[in-house]
């Protein structure tokens, strides 16, 4: 079976990462792998969720205040 384009890209990236590790100690590799964890939800969805929650709260307060 032939590899798909996505498989080729990932294999090339993996090979490049493995070559970068060659000849380095474990301490050097540990320093390299410490990265800031990426949020599992994007900023767009956080803003949308905040808009829905706080926007609904604002509209509810306005309706109770003005009696609409």
- Please name the residue ranges forming H helices in the chain: 5-21, 26-33, 43-66
To the question of pTM greater than 0.85 for the whole model, the response is no
Q: What is the pLDDT along the chain (68 residues), one digit of tens a residue?
A: 788 999 999 999 999 988 888 888 887 777 665 667 778 889 999 999 999 999 889 888 888 988 76
Domain ranges of the chain: 42-68
The C-alpha atoms of residue 14 and residue 34 are separated, in whole angstroms, by: 18
Q: Which two tokens stand for residue 2?
A: 């032939």
């Amino acid at each position: 079976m032939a590899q798909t384009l996505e498989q080729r890209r990932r294999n090339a990236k993996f090979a490049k990462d493995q070559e970068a590790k060659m000849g380095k100690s474990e301490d050097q590799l540990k320093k390299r792998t410490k990265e800031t964890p990426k949020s599992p939800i994007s900023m767009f969805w956080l803003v949308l969720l905040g808009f829905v929650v706080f926007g609904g709260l604002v509209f509810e307060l306005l309706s109770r205040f003005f009696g609409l």
